[in-house]
Structure formats: C-alpha cells, structure tokens
A and B are shown apart, each in its own frame.
Chain A
Amino acid sequence: MIWVGWRQQRVETLIAVAMLAVLAAVAIPVGVHMASVYTHEGLGACTGNANPVTCGVSVGSFESRFNGMNILFTWSTIVPALAALLLAAPFVLDLDNGSYRLYWTQSITRCRWIATKLTLSVAASVAVAGCLIALATWARAPLDHLNGRMSSNSYDAEGMVPIAYALFVLGVAVAIGALWRRTVPALLVAFAVYVVGRAFMDSWLRQRLLSPVKTTWLANGSGPNLNQALVINQFISDKNGKELAAGPGPCVVHASGGLFPHATGSVCAQPYPRGAHVYMTALYQPASRFWELQGVEFGIVAGIGILLVLAAALWTQRRVA
C-alpha cells in the first residue's frame, strides 16, 4: 500500500522538490556571498547596543544591499503551502474521479487506505516545510543576527510555523475535498483559506498570543533596545504607562504659554505641560520569546490542520459511498 500511495503522489512530490530547488538555487549563492560580506566587514560586532556611530552606516548599507533576501524569504513561505496543497490532491482526486471504488475493493480495508494516503501526504508536506526552514535559517543567519527573528521576514520562514501552515493547508484541502469531492475547486478554496488565515495571524492574532511585555521609560532617557523585538505598540504616556491621548484636532494654545503646541500638518499632537516629564511606553514581544511564540502559534495552526485531516479521514471512512 505504501508503494501505491507513493506512486500516486510522486508527481506532486517532485513538483514540490522542484520548487524547493529553485528557491535553493537563488538562496544558496546569495547566502554564501552575504555571509562572506558579513564576516569581512566585521558586522558581527554590530548587534545589541553596539555603537550606533561606527556600526550604523555599514549595517544600513549591508541591509539595503541584501534586502532581496527579505523579499525572497517572505514569499518563500508560499512554497510549503503550495506543496501541501498539491500533496492533498491525490487523496481528493481518488474521491473525485471514483477510483476509490477500485482501491477499496482490493483486499485491504478502506481504513488502511485512508490512513496510508493521509500519512504520506502529511509526511511529505512536513518534509517540504522542514527543508524551507533549514534553508531560511541557514541563508538568513547574518540578517537574523542583526535584526533578530521576530519580524515576519524571518519569523514566518523559520522556527516551526512553516510546518504548521503546511499541515493547515493540507487539512483544509483534504477536509473540503472529502466533503465536496471536486479536486480543483477544493484546492482553490483551501488556498484562499490559507491566505486569509495567514493574513489574520500576521496582522492580528500573533501579537495577542502571549501577553506582551510593557515597558515605560523617560522619553529623553534611554529605553530598552527594541531592535530585535516584535513591537506591538509604542506611545507617549505618563509615568504609569497610561497613554496620553493624542490625535487629530485643532491645537489649543493657552495665552499663558504654559502649554506648547506641536503641529504636524493637520494633525496636532496633544500638548504637554512644559517641564513635565514625558514618558514612552512600549508593548512588545521580546526577541527571547521567539520559540515560545512559535510554539503557541504552531500549536494552534498545526492543531487545526491535524484535526481537519482527522475529520477528513473520519468522514471518508463513515460517509463516502
């Protein structure tokens, strides 16, 4: 049965490998070059609270020179998603074109057929996502060293969330496919669900997964180094971290001059009492929480994916003709 399952998803697996190969063909040479520039220019010393004067210029030019790597790996996260989508196809196709009637009337139970096919697609999807993680983690090492791994450029392609999204896409595709039994529409809908799900996680849910760290510091003093953190919000506040309302509206200037206005275009920041201490407050996920955050996101997303795969298996076992 394993041979049959493998033979059925051979083309899909090869396409996935080809996509990874194209990605590697770009990322490996650039990665090697980037690493050598990084070492050569001694940028290893320019992390954390390094001297901004000596490091600022070279880091800036390094980053703008290799910004392509950010773009590449932001888009690379689509590779495991597409691969998982393709790897869901053989399962759905058998239900779609009726050839399940052939497989289920050989000498094996349909339970075994379902289990083998889904296990193979899960394994291949996880492997593709794993390869992407390895590639991204290796190739992006210098950039990650400078900027940390909390920005979505690296967060989405490293750690373990790519595996979670591969399982998610696979689960959605096989679940819709088991219900609908039409391959192409099922895969298209699954892809749309993936895009919406990713956007929702990136822009809304991720920053709420762990309760953020809140730090308040004197505005003209030195604050925490947030270069490598995932900053959720940063605002002007009072001493206790309570935001001082700022927003659009006419500036009110008192005759006494005890208040100072600060206008920027039509938007006027809230005036603050002269001589008063102004504080900054930041809500953020520190860089040290990378694995914790990845773990929570992985648990949710991969959990949904695995549950959907199991639901598809159960539905097919019980309900398909």
Chain B
Amino acid sequence: MNNAAALQATALGKRYGSNWALHNCDLSIPPGSVTALVGPNGAGKTTLLQLAVGLIEPTTGTISVLGHGPRTEPLAVLPRVGFVAQDHPLPRRFTIGETLKLGRELNSSWDDAVADRRIDELGLSRRQRIQTLSGGQQAQVALTLALAKRPQLLLLDEPVASLDPLARREFLTGVLQAVADAGITVVLSSHIVADLERICDRLIILANGRTQIVGTIEEILAGHRLLTGPRTDAGAVARVHQVIRESHTERQTTLLVRANGHVYDACWEMHEVDLEEIVLAYLGMTSAAARVEARAEAAR
C-alpha cells in the first residue's frame, strides 16, 4: 500500500443491486494536490467520496485514505478528513454558534480560531439559525465545519452545484484560501466544469462508474488537440491517436484526439482545446458507448 498517497483506490467497486455505481476503479491522489472529480450525474462521484469517508463499504477492492481503511479504522481516518456532503446537510434548528459547538464537541482536533475567523469573514452572526441562511451561506458554514477540524484531506461532494455563480465563486475562493494556508489535499466533485481550472491542478473524469482519464490539467490540455481537415474517414488518425470525438459536415471533418506524440499529417489543421470541451467530449463518448451498450442489451 502506498502510504504517500492521500487517497488510493485499488480495483475499487461498489454495487447497488445489479447496478455498479463504481467499477474496478484504480486511482491515486498525491498529497497536496487539488483534484476535480468530474462526471455526469450518476457517474459514481458521490459513491467514490462516500467510500473515502467510510459512509459506505466497498463491494470489491480496497480504498485507503491517508494510509488507513476508512471503514476498518475510522478513528485513524475521520479526524484527519474534512467532508462536505452533497447539499451540505446541517442541523437546521441550530444557530451558527451551536453548529460550531457541535464541531467542537465532535472533533478532538477542532480549532476555534479557524472557525471564528471564517464566520467573521463571512459576516455571519453566531445567533443566526441555519434555516434562515441562504444556500451559499449554508455551504460556507458546512465548509467552516470541515476546515476547523484541521483536516489533511478535504472531500467536497458537489459543493457548488446548488449555488448561484457569485456564491460559487466565493465558496471556491474559500477553498483556495484554505489550501494556500494549510496545504491540504482537496478532492472535489462537480458536474460544472467552469471554475475548476482556476482552483484544481488535477482532473479525474468519471463516467459509468469508471475512470476515463486521470492526470494533471496541464498534461490533459497538452495531450489533446482538435483536428480539422477535409472530409475523410477518421481511421488513419485513429491508428496513431485516440479519437475522442468525431464530427462531420459536408466538406469537413473535425476530430478531438488524445494525441500520441505530434500530428504530422499536413492535411489536418491543429488547434488547442479548452478543458471544458475535452471534458464534454469524454462524457459524450461514454454516453454514446452507453447507448450502444444499451441497444446491444435490448437486442439480446
């Protein structure tokens, strides 16, 4: 087992009934990185994060967080991991002050200074009730609860999905600040690609319960190219490079490829692609594959 990894999954799988939410997943997240877990709804992002924090148990394989099994050694993992669940659940009847007290009661490593500073910076009063706060404020309080336990690893499940653009930006700024201050490892899942480039240095694309691509954002950007050329079959390119997406008009063919070295063919015009387009291409590929699979299933 690689103790250097903040999170290490080996052949990890989780099945619900006959449906694999996560299947044969191998990944390793280095400490100090900020990793975005991207994928459509139902891709297995939540499953992976809940496995990491021990809320659910793997069906197959193993997961190790900071060198320990979250389910087998919860007290070695929980105090060192900050987790904000999807929709950031908080006790609605509590005031902010009581919510902070909850954090203090339930976490031995609780740091009042961190909590107080964040609540002050957010301009919130300790007497306000959670249920009177906006979605963005609730997300910030949930993040405060996770950060004030001084985690080494911060897991955020769709933290910004329900927030408006301004609140989203503020939330991510809060995360960035914490990372800069404490150097913690962050894994955040999202189906919104915008903003991720600003705060993440690594990307995992997850679809249909499998990892599609894992790497630093730099590598991913450098490794993908958009090729346009006269209408032709993609076969020749596909022999050398991995074609992620192809589209054709009457006279033109456009290919998004994961380039395996340089593209020498002079008839192709080569462009750089942005992250969002790469992500969408991968998701499009997997959903097309899923449709083919589903048709095959139906035919049988």
Chain A residues engaging chain B, CB cutoff 8 angstroms: 1, 3-4, 7-8, 11, 97-99, 101-110, 321
Contact = CB atoms under 8 A, between A and B. Distances in A.
Contacts of A102: 85, 89-91, 142, 145
B90 A4 contact: no
Query: B87, B91, B109, B145: which has the most chain A beta carbons within 10 Å?
Result: B91
B89 A106 contact: no
A107 B91 contact: no
Contact of B105 (A1, A98, A109, A321): A1
A107 B108 contact: yes
Nearest to A8: B91
Interface string B75-90: 1001101010101011
Query: B90, B93, B105, B107: which has the most chain A beta carbons within 10 Å?
Result: B105
A108 B91 contact: no
Contacts of B50: 101, 321
A105 B93 contact: no
The 9 closest A-B pairs by CB, nearest first: A106-B106, A101-B85, A107-B79, A99-B89, A105-B83, A107-B107, A102-B89, A98-B89, A107-B78
A7 B103 contact: no
Contacts of B79: 107
B16 to A, nearest CB: 9
Contact of B149 (A3, A99, A106): A106
Contacts of A97: 89, 92
A106 B78 contact: yes
B53 interface: yes
B120 to A, nearest CB: 22
Nearest to A10: B93
Contacts of B75: 107, 109
Contacts of B56: 321
Contacts of B92: 97
A97 B90 CA distance: 10
28 contacts: A1-B105, A1-B106, A3-B105, A7-B91, A7-B94, A7-B98, A97-B89, A98-B89, A99-B89, A101-B50, A101-B85, A102-B85, A102-B90, A104-B55, A105-B53, A105-B54, A105-B55, A105-B81, A105-B85, A106-B78, A106-B107, A107-B78, A107-B107, A107-B149, A108-B78, A109-B74, A110-B74, A321-B56
Interface in B151-184: none
Given A105-B81, A105-B83, A4 B89 contact: no
Contacts of B290: none
Contacts of B74: 109-110
A97 B88 CA distance: 11
Nearest to A97: B89
Interface of B: 50, 53-56, 74-75, 78-79, 81, 83, 85, 87, 89-94, 98, 101-103, 105-109, 142, 145, 149
Given A104-B54, A105-B85, A106-B106, 5 more contacts: A3-B101, A4-B106, A99-B89, A105-B54, A107-B149
Given A4-B102, A106-B107, A107-B79, A99 B91 contact: yes
Nearest to B87: A98
Query: B90, B103, B106, B107: which has the most chain A beta carbons within 10 Å?
Result: B106
A101 B105 contact: no
Nearest to B109: A107
A108 B109 CA distance: 11
Given A3-B101, A107-B109, A11 B93 contact: yes
Contacts of A7: 91, 94, 98, 102
A4 B85 contact: no
Given A3-B101, A105-B83, A109-B74, A321 B55 contact: yes
B101 A101 contact: no
A114 B50 CA distance: 19
A3 B85 CA distance: 23
Nearest to B102: A4
A108 B102 CA distance: 12
A101 B102 contact: no
Contacts of A1: 105-106
Nearest to B103: A106
Nearest to A113: B106
Contacts of B53: 105
A174 to B, nearest CB: 19
B78 to A, nearest CB: 5
A181 B78 CA distance: 24
Contacts of A103: 106
A102 B98 CA distance: 14
Contacts of A108: 78, 106
Contacts of A4: 102, 105-106
A1 B90 CA distance: 16
Contacts of B149: 106-107
Query: A8, A99, A102: which has the most chain B beta carbons within 10 Å?
Result: A102
Contacts of A109: 74-75, 78
Nearest to B94: A7
A319 to B, nearest CB: 10
B108 to A, nearest CB: 6
Contacts of A3: 101, 105
A198 B79 CA distance: 46
A89 to B, nearest CB: 12
A102 B105 CA distance: 13
Contacts of B93: 11
A99 B106 contact: no
A99 B107 contact: no
A102 B149 CA distance: 13
B77 to A, nearest CB: 10
B284 to A, nearest CB: 30
